[in-house]
Structures are given as structure tokens and as C-alpha cells.
Amino acid sequence: MGQLGNMNSEVERLFESAGDALSDDIIARLAETSSELLCIADRLARSEGLTRLLDLLEREHIVNSLVELGEAAAAAKASHAPEAKGGIGGMVKTMSDPDVQDALVFFATMFKEFKKG
């Protein structure tokens, strides 16, 4: 009983101090933020665009592609590739790299599909 009584008194003091610490301004700001978040959440929840995007994100190959894209971007940024020298010779050399050709095919296909949509 003693311990329970102490706990009750602690909880009571906690609420009392929380009440004393609050002000109308704090309450108003918290309420305003909650209200705005609620409105954003509602719009997102009812957005057809977001629903379709979420559907896509549930497909494994889409997720894999996005992950690969992210990893590739991170690797490209981390790699210390030499600066491009420029000129037609440099361009021909880059374009003859099979990985670069794969990347171009990927982006070409993606933009083709994007235009269809």
C-alpha cells in the first residue's frame, strides 16, 4: 500500500507539474501542429496518387530497382573516378563501356514507358 500510495503521489505530482508548465500558447501551438498534421495525413490517406505509388512500392522488382538506383548513386559519389577529359575521343571511350550502355538502355526504356503513361 505504501509503495502504491507513493506511486499515486508521484503520478499526481507529474500531472500537476505538467499542468503548471503548460501555457495557453504551448497548448495552442501543439493543437495547431496536430491539426495541420491531421489534415496532411487525411490528404495523403485519400490521395489516389499516393495509393498507386504505395501499390508500386509493394512490387519486389520495383523496390529492387530503386534500391539498386540508390546504391549506384551512392557508389558513383564515393568512387574516385578520374575527371572526364572531354573531346570526341573521351566520349567514344565512355560510350564503348558496356556498363554505360546498359545504363543508357535502362534510362531510355524508363522514359519511353513514362511517355506512354
Partner 1 sequence: MKILIVGGGMGGTILANNLARRLRNELKTGKASITMLSASDKHMYQPGLLYVAVGKMNPSELYRDQASLLEPSIEFKVDPVVEFDLDNNSVKSQSGATYSYDVIVIATGSRTHAEGTPGLAENAEMFYTEADAVKMYRRLEEFEGGKVVVAVGVPHKCPMAPLEITFMLIDYFKQRGIWDDVHLHYTYPIGRTHSLEPVAKWATPEFDRMGVTYETLFNMKEVTTDTVISEEGSEEKFDLLVTVPAHKGMQVIEDAGMGAGGFIPTDRQRLNMEGRDNVFVIGDTTNLPISKAGSTAHFEAEALAENIASMVTIGTATRDYDGKVFCFIEAGEGKATYAMFNYQNPPDPKEPTAGIHWFKTAYNKMYWASARGLL
| Cβ neighbours around 71 below 10 Å, total | 10
For every residue of 12-44, DSSP letters joined together read HHHHHHHHHH--HHHHHHHHHHHHHHHHHHHHH
Sign of the CA dihedral with 53 first, then 55, 57, and 59 last: negative
Residue 34 CB, shortest distance to partner 1, in Å, is 7
Residue 49 touches partner 1, criterion: CB under 8 A: no
Judged by CB under 8 A, the chain residues 8 through 37 that form the site for partner 1 are 19, 22, 24, 27-32, 34-35
Q: Which of 12, 42, 55, 97 contacts partner 1 by CB under 8 A?
A: 42
Sign of the CA dihedral with 59 first, then 64, 65, and 70 last: positive
Residue 108 CB, shortest distance to partner 1, in Å, is 35
Residue 54 CB, shortest distance to partner 1, in Å, is 19
User: Which residues sit at the interface with partner 1, rule CB under 8 A?
Assistant: 19, 22, 24, 27-32, 34-35, 38-39, 42
